[in-house]
């Protein structure tokens, strides 16, 4: 296993509106796929990659989340409480920075699961990470190598691995964002507090040549709504 970050931020506070009616009674992070809650799929991947401590933000059905996470011992769990206000991706990470420290860490969404290819996906991400020349490295998947995602939003990559973000339908982007990254917390210096997205920060880093990507060879499943959950269940149940 390649050395990498020992801490991670898991973004689990969202309302999960696209996952209704399942999220009428629970949070999206606790929706099960393949007999396991989405949050546990993510935490297990992070543990396999060497993460020792994960900070999980909570908002929607926060008490359920805390009760569920109390049973985890690896990685250790710390809670970033967003009950008062949802802070989006950037604001959520900013709030949690005192818990995360000043070394680079993983950031993970809770709606991504995958079937590994030849190289474990997070090992591929760690292999690309070089703090001397990059501030964020995103885990990407080639278009068509997954299910549950058809947005034009994605990335172009140059020969050195530098990324450019695009939301335009033409020309089509060859890579989609899996929802996992390694980042330096210092990219949020000066960003202030409250709710804000990471996307403008990606664009600013891309303009400076500091945003890079690693391409997984896994089969990715974005579990964003009930139909995508059913598709992921079917894929996981296919014979190996």
Give 10-residue mean pLDDT values along the chain (240 residues).
91 88 90 94 97 96 94 93 93 96 97 95 97 97 89 91 91 94 96 92 95 97 92 85
**What are 25's two structure tokens?**
């009674």
Rg (CA), the chain: 17
Rounded Cα distance, 210 and 137, in Å: 9
Fold of the domain built from segment(s) 7-236: Spore Coat Polysaccharide Biosynthesis Protein SpsA; Chain A (3.90.550)
What integer pLDDT is reported at residue 159 of this predicted model? 94
State the DSSP string of 150-186.
--S-EEEE-TTSBEEEE--SSSPPSEEEEEEEEE-GG
Q: Mind listing the pLDDT tens digit for each residue in 47-78?
A: 999 999 999 999 989 999 999 999 888 999 99
Continuous H helices in 31-160: 38-48, 62-69, 88-100, 121-128
What integer pLDDT is reported at residue 240 of this predicted model? 64
Annotated domain spans of the chain: 7-236
Report CA-CA distances (Å) from 34 to 40, 43, 48: 11, 15, 18
How buried is 226 (Cβ within 10 angstroms: 0-12 exposed, 13-18 middle, 19+ buried)?
Answer: middle
Cα dihedral across residues 65, 224, 80, 98: positive or negative = positive
Helix/strand/coil for 53: strand
Q: Mind listing the pLDDT tens digit for each residue in 119-157?
A: 999 999 999 999 999 999 999 999 989 988 878 889 999
What rounded mean pLDDT belongs to the chain?
93
Report CA-CA distances (Å) from 176 to 73, 152, 179, 186, 227: 32, 9, 9, 25, 19
Rounded Cα distance, 147 and 167, in Å: 19
How buried is 232 (Cβ within 10 angstroms: 0-12 exposed, 13-18 middle, 19+ buried)?
Answer: buried
Report CA-CA distances (Å) from 188 to 30, 205, 216, 219: 29, 11, 26, 31
Nearest of 89, 221, 75 to residue 145 by alpha carbon: 221
């Amino acid at each position: 296993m390649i050395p990498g970050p020992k801490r991670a931020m898991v973004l689990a506070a969202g309302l999960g509106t696209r996952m209704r009616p399942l999220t009428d009674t629970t949070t999206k992070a606790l929706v099960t796929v393949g007999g396991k809650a989405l949050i546990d799929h993510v935490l297990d991947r992070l543990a396999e990659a060497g993460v020792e401590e994960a900070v999980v933000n909570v908002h929607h059905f926060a008490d359920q989340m805390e009760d569920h996470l109390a049973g985890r011992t690896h990685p250790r769990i710390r809670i970033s409480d967003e009950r008062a206000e949802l802070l989006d991706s950037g604001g959520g990470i900013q709030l949690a920075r005192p818990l995360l420290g000043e070394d680079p860490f993983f950031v993970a969404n809770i709606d991504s699961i995958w079937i590994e290819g030849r190289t474990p996906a997070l090992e591929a991400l760690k292999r690309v990470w070089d703090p001397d020349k990059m501030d964020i490295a995103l885990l990407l998947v080639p278009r068509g190598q997954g299910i549950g995602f058809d947005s034009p939003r994605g990335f172009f990559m140059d020969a050195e691995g530098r990324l450019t973000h695009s939301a335009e339908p033409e020309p089509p982007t060859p890579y989609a964002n899996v929802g996992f990254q390694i980042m330096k917390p210092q990219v949020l210096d000066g960003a202030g507090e409250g709710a804000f997205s990471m996307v403008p920060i990606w664009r600013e880093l891309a303009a400076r040549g500091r945003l890079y990507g690693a391409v997984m060879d896994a089969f990715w499943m974005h579990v964003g709504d009930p139909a995508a959950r059913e598709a992921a269940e079917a894929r996981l149940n296919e014979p190996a």
